[in-house]
Chains A and B, each alone.
Chain A
């Protein structure tokens, strides 16, 4: 019981920290599975965080804000698609450009719009996502073990957290059980085969990039408009887009693995928040810097092939050129 009261807030925080990572990671998964590398996840999240907070504030409606955030992210996705699919540009450079563009534009726009130094005004409770109490959570609360777990851990998150969790089985289903998914995976492995079969490579890749935009949009909205957050602050993604990319490699480009990778990275972040409690349990002081670096270290270990092998989609990063 003692352990449970210690563990539950940590796991609770794990779920919250993992949500934006998971959404961004799945976003990257769609895009990269279709052969389009996307290091612009960070920028898209940031653009969405800004737009969702700004619009939620001005309209007072968080749903309109969410749509606006997704819209902003989709617009950047379109730019990425245009540059790397239509004009066959370098996908990495386009991604970097998007990151810089979003970081700068969000602040400039926020400053000229609200004049609060690149922040949006604080969102009130009506204009942000509030935690949802699942049915029976209150009544079951006193049941030993299951009660607190259900009440604290599973219930009481914002809607976007549940959306992120549901996106995992959905992604698995779409990728592995539908025709669209098969084609999408094929286009990342061997686009000419897909083309030979008479399916549009360009169309599929744009669809993948668009899905990526929508998911990044939700991730950004989660950062800025879902409680405990209440507004946009410049650079607030703070590298989460890059951790999501690391998680994607760690997960070997698979949806269920992505869930576990993001939960693991979220868990590392959650315990890094509580050095005192960790010290009590373990009996020695854990270096916070080590915990912060661990996601990247783990990714490098995976990439180096020590634990299994991470093989990226074969046609990833290469623009498709029809043979003449």
Chain B
């Protein structure tokens, strides 16, 4: 009996290595269609599927406890490469990856050091710097706001880059920053997002940047209701309220997923930084916001972008030393 089981297992494992390896993507809490981070990952996977006509596996987890199980299940099923979107995957991935040395993993937004893992991080501070400049240039009251989701270093990196950009664009710019909460429910509380926006409006803020997952839905909504400008995050959110969203800070999660899928089993592992120089981050300009971004604003931002790429402007990365010269948390 035992022999039979082993031979079946052997046959299965042979089958899985020889057959075409289907790639898989794992979304973070917040869900596949969050109009933001996860949706961007989905769009990248979908672009790959549309171009190649192949299929991919995907999973939306419901709680932190499912992370390890989800990775393991895909690895057992022979999916390769397995891409996961979100920093919270780091710990379970570190555990699982060493059990499947022949499977390639790709993690976005976090660094995990292992021979079969590709770690992609975004220079979020650079993109935030640019939208911070745009916010300051568009603000009439001289005050811009930031609303983060859960209070973690990654989100503070956004806030810090944003504050630096705003203050560099206009001397004496007032920056108001709020975090929604300290628990994961901070990503899903649009009601509090709305209240935070109203609180910032009462402090003269007239451009608000939301880096808060689904909480940002409430921020953008209230900004549109109260006729101030908002800035979306991760994916292009300009279309949500045309003419009311100044721009979106883009994190090309879709490109990261797409590239990993395209590389397939030959995925190059190691550290990979996506920043302004390789179009990994940026700001969104489309038909919904072209009336809001004047030529002068565009010229100023493009000039700053070139300087950042050339290294003439150093944008501070909060995650590197947990401090921020432009804003006191």
Interface contact A115-B33, CB-CB below 8 Å: yes
Interface contact A229-B218, CB-CB below 8 Å: yes
Q: Nearest Cβ distance between residue B239 and chain A, in whole angstroms?
A: 11
Q: How far is the CA of A275 from the CA of B192 in the complex (A)?
A: 14
Interface contact A228-B221, CB-CB below 8 Å: yes
The proximity string for B residues 155-185 relative to A, scoring 1 for CB distances below 8 Å and 0 otherwise, is: 0000000000000000000001011011001
Q: How far is the CA of A269 from the CA of B38 in the complex (A)?
A: 29
Binds B, one of A79-87, A234-242, A252-260: A234-242
The proximity string for A residues 225-267 relative to B, scoring 1 for CB distances below 8 Å and 0 otherwise, is: 0011111011110110000000000000000000000000000
Interface contact B198-A13, CB-CB below 8 Å: yes
Q: How far is the CA of A62 from the CA of B203 in the complex (A)?
A: 32
Point out the residues of chain B lying under 8 angstroms from A12, CB to CB: 198
Q: Which of A9, A12, A17, A229 has the largest number of chain B CB atoms within 10 A?
A: A229
Q: Nearest Cβ distance between residue B226 and chain A, in whole angstroms?
A: 8
Q: Nearest Cβ distance between residue A103 and chain B, in whole angstroms?
A: 9
Q: Which of B185, B189, B198, B199 has the largest number of chain A CB atoms within 10 A?
A: B199
Residue of B nearest to A131 (CB): B225
Contacts A227-B225, A229-B194, A289-B182 given; does A118 touch B31 at CB 8 Å: yes
Interface contact A117-B188, CB-CB below 8 Å: no
User: Is the C-beta of A277 less than 8 angstroms from some C-beta in chain B?
Assistant: yes
Residue of B nearest to A234 (CB): B188
User: Is the C-beta of A200 less than 8 angstroms from some C-beta in chain B?
Assistant: no
Q: How far is the CA of A275 from the CA of B196 in the complex (A)?
A: 11
Contact of A274 among B189, B191, B194, B203 (CB under 8 A): B203
User: Is the C-beta of B222 less than 8 angstroms from some C-beta in chain A?
Assistant: yes
User: Is the C-beta of B34 less than 8 angstroms from some C-beta in chain A?
Assistant: yes
State the majority secondary structure of interface residues on B. Answer: helix
Q: How far is the CA of A308 from the CA of B298 in the complex (A)?
A: 63
Point out the residues of chain A lying under 8 angstroms from B195, CB to CB: 13, 16-17, 228, 269-270, 273
User: Is the C-beta of A122 less than 8 angstroms from some C-beta in chain B?
Assistant: yes
User: Is the C-beta of A178 less than 8 angstroms from some C-beta in chain B?
Assistant: no
Q: How far is the CA of A227 from the CA of B214 in the complex (A)?
A: 17
Q: How far is the CA of A152 from the CA of B199 in the complex (A)?
A: 14
User: Is the C-beta of B104 less than 8 angstroms from some C-beta in chain A?
Assistant: no
Interface contact A228-B225, CB-CB below 8 Å: yes
The proximity string for B residues 137-153 relative to A, scoring 1 for CB distances below 8 Å and 0 otherwise, is: 00000000000000000
Interface contact A238-B189, CB-CB below 8 Å: yes
Contacts A118-B31, A122-B240, A228-B218 given; does A274 touch B199 at CB 8 Å: yes
Interface contact A119-B33, CB-CB below 8 Å: yes
Q: Nearest Cβ distance between residue B329 and chain A, in whole angstroms?
A: 10
A–B Cβ pairs within 8 angstroms, 5 of them? A9-B198, A116-B35, A117-B35, A236-B188, A288-B179
Interface residues, chain B, with chain A CB atoms under 8 Å away: 31-35, 38-39, 62, 176, 178-179, 181-182, 185, 188-192, 194-199, 202-203, 214, 217-218, 221-222, 225, 240
Interface residues, chain A, with chain B CB atoms under 8 Å away: 9, 12-13, 16-17, 104, 107, 111, 115-119, 122, 223, 227-231, 233-236, 238-239, 269-270, 273-277, 288-289, 292
Closest A-B pairs by Cβ, 4 of them: A117-B33, A228-B194, A9-B202, A117-B31
Told that A17-B195, A117-B34, A223-B191 touch, could you supply 5 new A-B pairs with CB distance under 8 A? A117-B38, A119-B35, A228-B198, A274-B199, A292-B182
